[in-house]
Amino acid sequence: MMDHLANTEINSQRIAAVENCFGASGQPLALPGRVLLGEGILTKECRKKPKPRIFFLFNDILVYGSIVINKRKYNSQHIIPLEDVTLETLPDTLQMKNRWMIKTSKKSFVVSAASLTERKEWISHLEECIKHLLTKTGRQPCTEHAAPWIPDKATDICMRCTQTKFSTLTRRHHCRKCGFVVCADCSRQRFLMPRLSPKPLRVCNLCYRQLLADKKKEAEADRRQTEPIRSATQGYEPSSGDDSDKSDDEKAEQWPADTEFYTSEVSWSSFHS
């Protein structure tokens, strides 16, 4: 079905309409073979509070952004390759229902749908696209995922030292490794995690020690792998490149967090049902 719709005029028009809604701030979305399958408004867990976001599902990417004027203008466009996505269904809370997590190697976040049926439709469509894409590319499902950020309102104290109380003057920070809400004293370190960013990122003290230990283990493993090679070549002199007449004989404690979400009245809509 997706291959059949890829080059249709109606598919091109709908993709162009999405590009137009994002305007100059968005990236071009039209590519040969790309199909727009549907859209919907989901509630996304953000750092400060849950917010509605528009989501567009293509056969190879998931696009979402902030709603300025529904059906007319969006901004803050984000593009997620589906082959990097893993889904995890989450239990309901008193404040939030129909939740699931979208996990990727660079960013993971929680969303909720307006109804259980809508959640099932979203997850079914996403899983079908992911399976089809992985089969087509021959890639294996992603196994390393970024930690989702725990919302600011989940705690009034640092989740590491449990002593520092947050206030207007005492800011909250997030560890990029575990996603915990921490104070400045508990997150003064930076660590390079190329999977997330080309620059060193803020991490809590516990994750920093764990990352250093992992790095040390990796270096030790590399050293052990190269040791047999060094032993085998010990005693050999570098060749000058000339022939010689000489003989050949001459070697992140889990922290429970209550989330608050608000559902949306706009449900999933499929363009090609």
The shares of helix, strand and coil residues in the chain, as percent rounded to the nearest 5, are 30, 25, 45
CA distance 145 to 102: 10
Q: pLDDT band for position 236 (50/70/90)?
A: very low
CATH 2.30.29.30-classified regions of the chain: 3-137
Mean per-residue pLDDT of the chain: 84
* Entry pTM: 0.75
The DSSP letter of residue 255 is -
Write out pLDDT tens, residues 139-173: 888 778 899 999 998 899 999 999 999 998 999 99
Phi-psi region of 125 (alpha: psi -120 to 50; beta: other; left: phi over 0): alpha
CATH code at 3-137: 2.30.29.30
Dihedral pair phi/psi, residue 189, rounded to 5°: -85, 155
CATH 3.30.40.10-classified regions of the chain: 149-219
Say what the pLDDT of residue 128 is: 95
Q: CATH topology for 149-219? A: Herpes Virus-1 (3.30.40)
Write out pLDDT tens, residues 189-225: 999 998 888 899 999 999 999 999 999 998 888 888 8
For the chain, what's the residue count? 273
132 three-state secondary structure: helix
CA distance 198 to 202: 13
